[in-house]
Amino acid sequence: MGDDEGGFFDGFDDGGNDDGGSDDSDNDNSYNDDSSDEDSDDDSGYDDPGNNNNDDDSGDNDDGSDSDDHTLSADDFPNASEEDFTDDDGSWSADDYAQSAENLFGDHEYFGDTIFSQLADQGYAPFQEPAFLDGFEQVAPGSTETLHLFERDGQLSAFGFLQPALLAYLMGRYTGIDFSNVDVAPGDLGGRAEPQPLPPQYASLQEADAVDLRKYATPVGDQGQTSRCSAFAWTHAAELINVRDKGTTDRLSPSFTMLNFQRMQGDDRDYEYAASGGNGTIGGPDPGRVLVEQGTCRQELWPDNAEEPRANERVLQQDAVSHRLEGAPQPIALDDVRKVLTAGCPVHVAMNTGPAFSQVGRDGVFSAAEPPSGRHGRHAMLLTGYTGNFFTVKNSWGEEWGDKGYGYIPKNVLAQSDPEFIAILKPQTA
């Protein structure tokens, strides 16, 4: 196991800092409640992934390791037992996962951390005024399950996540609360596809005990308070594959990706609409196929935080062609995800999110293996590995979320979260 400060594995790019809170000025404690009331096609050609040790990829990392060096064995986790690497057949409880997490990740500097302890270290205290909290819950029923209120120096701040429309409503109603640290999960990504059987060369692979593709990953992006989670996940996938196969580290534009997703759905609105995340886009393999066919431009031509690109449409399209996704998007079942990751292929995941997701601290580990609630939003991320029954996800909420932007989700949480998995399989080579 690696000894980097906040990462579980060697080769993890240490970027960002651990300060997750804003430093706001004093405010009165009224908190200003200002308002009154209120299918998939089965792709035929794939590269044979072979076994764990014979991939011939061209892109090496700075650490000099081979590009197939993304698998680990149980020996890399000295505190774990054989049981930690035994597949959960649906019988594991929350306590089982808690114990397994301690066995696997207990030497992490922030193991056991939650958003509450993380913010306590930054001087925040949970806001506990019953009358106000009761009123807040009445205004937005269920919101306090994923939105947490904290006080520091007389300023009330919110942390967690909400659906975009509800967040906008609360921001307009409670002008004295700082909502800048609240993240967004869209209501529904829709358009899901039925899983397809893996091609034989993938189906026959023996799963590794653990897989870590973060050696190929670019820095974690930050979607801000927009609905671009799926665009970020797909763009992160394209970047990872470029590093894996070509050794190129160009940062690509999620906003241009989002623009093309909109157009795929017949919604050709303006650039600002795309930068906001539009309708959050649909699920299924079609968004991936858009990236295969059209690509996306470099981030320098359309930065993440810019409402409009820095170049005209012709330049964007020309640049995008040279940054197409080189992979074959295919819907797969949960039981096939580890095989695909063992082959070195990332997986786009869309899932319902709930209370446990809002409590993830600096260790990145879910606090409980509970079924999330769909009313809190549906969120897209990129699966970049697994350890036993914990899957590693690359989020798009910045490097201050979780383990420097990554989280570790129990298998049974995914199973109960109405998940959709789109693997980006290696294309057939000549």
Q: How far apart are CA 411 and CA 419, in angstroms?
A: 11
Q: 3 lies in a domain?
A: no
Last residue of a domain, one of 184, 211, 237: 184
| Shared-domain flag, residues 294 and 390 | yes
| Shared-domain flag, residues 262 and 394 | yes
Q: Based on the structure, what is the number of domains in the chain?
A: 2
| Shared-domain flag, residues 103 and 175 | no
| Shared-domain flag, residues 213 and 334 | yes
| Shared-domain flag, residues 265 and 193 | yes
Q: How far apart are CA 411 and CA 428, in angstroms?
A: 30
Tens-digit pLDDT string for the chain (430 aa): 333 333 433 333 333 334 434 343 344 434 444 444 444 444 434 455 644 443 444 434 333 333 468 999 999 999 999 999 999 999 999 999 999 999 999 999 999 999 999 999 999 999 999 999 999 999 999 899 999 999 999 999 999 999 999 999 999 999 999 999 999 999 887 778 999 999 999 999 999 999 999 999 999 999 999 999 999 999 999 999 999 999 999 999 999 999 999 999 888 788 999 999 887 888 899 999 999 999 999 999 999 999 999 999 999 999 999 999 999 999 999 999 999 999 999 999 999 999 999 999 999 999 888 888 777 889 999 999 999 999 999 999 999 999 999 999 999 999 999 999 999 999 865 4
Angle at 108 between CA 107 and CA 112, to 5 degrees: 100
Angle at 307 between CA 248 and CA 346, to 5 degrees: 35
Q: 316 lies in a domain?
A: yes
Q: How far apart are CA 325 and CA 257, in angstroms?
A: 11
Last residue of a domain, one of 165, 184, 203: 184
Per-residue CA distances from 31 to 140, 163, 171, 328, 348 (Å): 16, 21, 11, 50, 39
| Shared-domain flag, residues 104 and 120 | no
| Shared-domain flag, residues 106 and 206 | yes
What is the DSSP-derived secondary structure letter of residue 190? Answer: -
Angle at 73 between CA 93 and CA 337, to 5 degrees: 60
Q: If you compute the radius of gyration of the chain from its CA atoms, what whole number of angstroms results?
A: 21
| Shared-domain flag, residues 193 and 130 | no
Last residue of a domain, one of 130, 165, 184: 184
Domain of residue 416, CATH code: 3.90.70.10
Q: How far apart are CA 64 and CA 10, in angstroms?
A: 12
Q: 45 lies in a domain?
A: no
Q: 58 lies in a domain?
A: no
Q: 41 lies in a domain?
A: no
Query: Which structural domain range is residue 316 located in?
Result: 71-112+189-425
Per-residue CA distances from 205 to 69, 121, 199 (Å): 16, 45, 11
CA 173 to centroid of chain Cα atoms: 29
Q: How far apart are CA 422 and CA 40, in angstroms?
A: 10
| Shared-domain flag, residues 274 and 354 | yes
Q: 38 lies in a domain?
A: no
Take residue 329 and report the two structure tokens written for it: 């998007």
| Shared-domain flag, residues 310 and 402 | yes
Q: 357 lies in a domain?
A: yes
Q: What is the DSSP string of 270-291?
A: -HHHHHTTTT----SSHHHHHH
Q: 4 lies in a domain?
A: no
Residue 131 exposed, middle or buried by CB count within 10 Å (0-12, 13-18, 19+): exposed
